[in-house]
């Protein structure tokens, strides 16, 4: 099948791994900023194909994982408002908030429904005109255009019981925040493929220029990722830092201008709280004033409990690349996919879940 099989070709993957080993002469620390990449790297044993002096870390690239406890607490509190329906993507259901999860809130009587698209969320509003249907908007730039489209559709159809609890986030500000923290010294970043499809490559140029970090946008097949690593290693060996695209079949330098216009027409940037990092200026998206009647936080006031973090959970450090999942004392013991303590074990794109699923217990 064109555009899939060739990117899973084991001979080509082996040749790329051999080339990386041949050209790489110095230690390099690379980070992937996309949960999809983390899963692909684990599933295909990419780390094991690389020389030991190339270290690969996982970053805050899973939208479910970076959703802060207080944001989950707010969704749970809204689910307890009489007449409210909460709609959300499935991964969010099991993520623990400070005291419970949406799944537990549903078991306690909250009307919380899993949807597979924003169209499903809109339909919940249409089907229940006498109730308020709140969509939990969690995701990065990849998801934001679809949420924007749903808001515009609700306006066109005059659906006045559809609301968004907006926790959408933007990737580039989180990259800068992580680099500014200085906890880890990165030589290269594997830039997210799906996000870059929307935003293009210009937002990453500052990181290559200001921090001297090599950047390459990668796709999600093993050859894609190995090609991105080879391009990063080549930049590092040449002593340069720029933004390259290894995922040319999916990403253009300018991104998807139509999706950007859609997103920028409905949202403005705002501060957002990221699990493990904290508040990052201008890293989130909020509805513009014109659309504030769809904003669940403006429509409903709820009292929130004090935010509480779970004892022993080190998801925050894992999301910053400071430690690996294996370094968390709860991994595979108190924290498993069946009984997750933190979001990195819940989400299908979480680092802990990927380590657990693909049996990476020895590094």
> Cα–Cα distance between 140 and 191 in angstroms, integer?
13
What's the pLDDT score for residue 361? Answer: 56
Q: What would the mean pLDDT of 35-63 be, rounded to a whole number?
A: 94
- pLDDT band of residue 362 (cuts 50, 70, 90) is low
* Model confidence, pTM: 0.93
Stretch 280-296: mean pLDDT: 98
* Mean predicted confidence (pLDDT) in 57-68: 94
Could you tell me how far CA 58 lies from the centroid of its own chain? 11
What is the percentage of the chain residues whose pLDDT exceeds 70? 98
pLDDT confidence tier of residue 294, bands split at 50, 70 and 90: very high
CA angle 257, 189, 283 (to 5 degrees): 55
Nearby residues of 206 by Cβ (< 8 Å), 6 or more positions away: 172, 176
Instruction: Kindly state the average pLDDT of the residues 144-165.
Output: 98
Share of the chain above pLDDT 90, in %: 93
The separation between CA 197 and the C-alpha centre of its own chain, rounded to angstroms, equals: 14
Alpha helix stretches (DSSP H) within the chain: 10-23, 35-43, 46-49, 69-79, 102-107, 118-127, 144-157, 171-181, 193-199, 205-211, 222-238, 257-266, 296-299, 315-319, 343-346, 351-357
CB under 8 Å, gap of 24 or more: what pairs does 115-118 form?
Answer: 115/87, 115/88, 115/89, 116/89, 117/146, 118/146, 118/147, 118/149, 118/150
Strand, helix or coil for residue 254: coil
Whether 183 and 320 have beta carbons less than 8 Å apart is answered as yes
So what's the pLDDT on residue 2?
64
Mean pLDDT for the chain? 95
DSSP 35-98: HHHHHHHHHTTHHHHS-TTEEEEE-S--TTTTB-HHHHHHHHHHHTSTTEEEEE-GGGTT-B-S
According to the model, what pLDDT value does residue 252 have? 97
Q: How far apart are CA 212 and CA 42, in angstroms?
A: 27
Q: What is the pLDDT of residues 108-135, one digit of tens each?
A: 999 999 999 999 999 999 999 999 999 9
Residues 37-60, mean pLDDT to the nearest whole number? 95
Longest dimension (CA), the chain: 66
Distances from the Cα of 190 to the Cα of 6, 41, 257, angstroms = 21, 11, 22
* 212 pLDDT higher than 70: yes
From CA 133, how far away is CA 307, in angstroms rounded? 25
Q: pLDDT-derived band of residue 4, with 50, 70 and 90 as boundaries?
A: confident
Q: Note whether 254 and 227 are within 8 A (CB).
A: no
pLDDT value for 89: 93
62 exposed, middle or buried (CB, 10 Å; 0-12, 13-18, 19+)?
buried
What is the rounded CA–CA span in Å between residue 275 and residue 60? 9
């Amino acid at each position: 099948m064109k555009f899939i099989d060739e990117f899973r070709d084991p001979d080509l993957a082996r040749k790329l791994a051999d080339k990386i080993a041949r050209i790489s002469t110095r230690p390099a620390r690379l980070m992937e900023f996309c949960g999809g990449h983390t899963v692909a790297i684990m599933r295909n044993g990419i780390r094991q194909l690389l020389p030991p002096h190339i270290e690969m870390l996982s970053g805050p690239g899973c939208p479910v994982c970076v959703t802060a406890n207080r944001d989950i607490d707010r969704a749970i509190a809204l689910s307890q408002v009489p007449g409210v329906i909460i709609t959300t993507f499935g991964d969010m259901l099991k993520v623990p908030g400070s005291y419970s999860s949406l799944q537990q809130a549903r078991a306690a009587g909250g009307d919380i429904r899993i949807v597979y698209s924003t169209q499903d969320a809109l339909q919940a509003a249409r089907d229940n005109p006498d109730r308020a249907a709140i969509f939990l908007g969690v995701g990065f730039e990849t998801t934001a255009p679809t949420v924007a489209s749903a808001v515009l559709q609700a306006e066109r159809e005059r659906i006045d019981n559809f609301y968004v609890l907006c926790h959408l986030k933007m990737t580039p500000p989180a990259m800068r925040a992580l680099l500014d923290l200085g906890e880890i010294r990165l030589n290269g970043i594997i830039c997210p493929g799906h996000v870059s499809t929307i935003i293009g490559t210009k937002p990453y140029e500052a990181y290559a220029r200001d921090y001297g970090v090599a950047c390459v946008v990668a796709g999600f097949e093993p050859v894609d990722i190995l090609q991105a690593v080879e391009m990063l290693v080549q930049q590092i060996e040449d002593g340069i830092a720029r933004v390259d695209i290894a995922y040319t079949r999916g990403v253009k330098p300018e991104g998807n201008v139509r999706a950007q216009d859609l997103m920028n027409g409905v949202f403005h940037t705002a501060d957002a709280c990221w699990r493990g990092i904290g508040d990052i200026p201008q890293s989130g998206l909020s509805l513009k004033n014109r659309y504030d009647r769809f904003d669940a936080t403006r429509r409903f006031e709820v009292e929130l409990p004090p935010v509480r973090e779970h004892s022993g959970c080190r998801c925050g450090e894992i999301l910053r690349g400071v430690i690996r999942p294996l370094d968390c004392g709860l991994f595979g013991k108190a924290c498993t996919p069946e009984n997750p303590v933190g979001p990195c074990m819940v989400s299908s794109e979480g680092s802990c879940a990927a380590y657990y699923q693909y049996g990476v217990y020895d590094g």
